[in-house]
Structure 1
Amino acid sequence: MTIHDNDGFDAPTTAFPTAAFDSSGFTTSEALVDDSEPARPVESMHGGVDFGLFVVRLAVGGLVIAHGLQKLGLLGGPGIDGFAQALTAMGFSDQTTLLAWVTALAEVGGGALLVLGLFTPFGAAAVLGVLANAVYVKFENGFFAATGGFEFDLLIALIAFALLFTGAGRVSIDKNTPWRRKPWPLGLVSLVIAAGLTTAVVVLFR
């Protein structure tokens, strides 16, 4: 474009586009650039996390289910009576048969919930409660499992603890539930439940 100076001659000038500001303080051109690439949901950028959580749930849930079935007399396990006798040898003196049933059902039920990804915080809480008691009982034997220590039990307990707050991931029945998207509230409630059950077992059965 040209403009006229005071002498009447045309003076060439460079026309620069004016920048209009929107209500956010960005220029119109900047806003267009921002809008040209819509933001993706955070979850879509971490699909591998969902697969990883699925593998962890299958592994931990499957192991715990197997141990629970052994306590019920399957997979070559000792059955309820045999496990009750083992509990007596561990220092549990009251109602060991009842405790054997509770432990077996908690392992099978909690493990199944983890595998399915259904009410995952509750399943993790059941597993955590059982394994926390196992750590407590074996603590005096030392850390390493080879000497009867709590190494393996602590590992499974810590994984269950983590699942309380990670949630099941999208490869689960919990996929569209509020506690899958925001696992912290129900995770904290489940942690309190697990701690209460662990304490109750120690107080009532030892």
Structure 2
Amino acid sequence: MSSDSDYFRPSEAQSTAAYDSPYDTNDTTVLNRPDLSDEDPFARPEPEPHRWHFGADLGLFALRVVLGALVLAHGLQKVFGIMQGPGIDGFAAVLTAFGFQHATLLSWISGVTELVAGALLVLGLFTPAAASAVVGILATAVYLRVDINLFAGGVELETLYLVAGFTLLFTGAGHFSLDRRTPWFRRAPAFGFIFLVLALGLSAVALFVLR
């Protein structure tokens, strides 16, 4: 004859069923976690490499190549005077009209910068430096040419170039590039911010020191 306490004692079938639960019964207490005492608590983990995204990478490739080719063409116009370009002397005259000192030197700097930046953008190489060069030059152009009495200030084309350069500055070149294994590819926003500050600083020097 069983006692009252036998009613509160699980049967063998009940004991087995308790361990057949479909839910995870693994012990998740801190006692079973791996020992992290040997790890440096101040060590910064390496950022994960960018995942492949065909659509985004293809879009960045198209944006980068088109912008680079156009910037390169503007550099050819300034330095060599081809494609109906002004050449060094013609562009120096434009800068002089805007009140710049050392206009010839600035013409050479601007033209060569566009040549190098455009070629690097097409290749997808040193993208933060190339994109920041575009941002600096186009920010200066927008500041000089904007007219609040015109649609989009009369600088809609310059603004498109500027925004395209700004975009590549913070997104990086994408996987279809020579930059894909570089630190600035993995840390595009950080490098983008550094080069943005540098570009805007040089633009401010040109506008308010050399003018």
Give the TM-score normalised by structure 1. 0.77
**Residue deviations 1:184-204, cap 9 Å, x none?**
221111001111110011023
Preserved contact between residue 94 and residue 204 of structure 1 (Cα < 8 Å): no
Distance 1:127 1:64 in 2: 8
List per-residue Cα deviations over 1:141-185 (Å, max 9, x = no partner).
Answer: 65548xx82111111111111111101111111010111112122
**Partners of 1:195 and 1:57 in 2: CA distance:** 21
- What secondary structure is seen at the aligned counterpart in 2 of 1:205? coil
Q: Which runs of 5+ in 1 are unaligned?
A: 1-5, 26-40
CA distance in 1, matches of 2:189, 2:164: 16
Q: Structure 1's 143 and 162: CA in aligned 2 closer, same or farther, altered over 3 A?
A: farther
Which residue matches 1:58?
Answer: 65
Inter-partner Cα distance in structure 2 for 1:71 and 1:176: 33
Higher RCO (CA < 8 A, seq sep 6+): 2
TM-score by length of 2: 0.76
Cα 1:56/1:142, change in 2 over 3 Å: farther
Say if 1:142 and 1:95 are closer, same or farther in 2 by CA, change over 3 A: farther
> Which aligned runs of 4 or more in structure 1 are off by greater than 4 angstroms?
11-15
Q: Give, as a single letter, the amino acid of the residue that structure 2 aligns with 1:166.
A: T
Residue matched to 1:83: 91
Letter in 2 for 1:57: R
Specify the alignment match of 1:71 in structure 2: 78
1:162 counterpart (161, 167, 171): 167
Paired residue type of 1:65: L
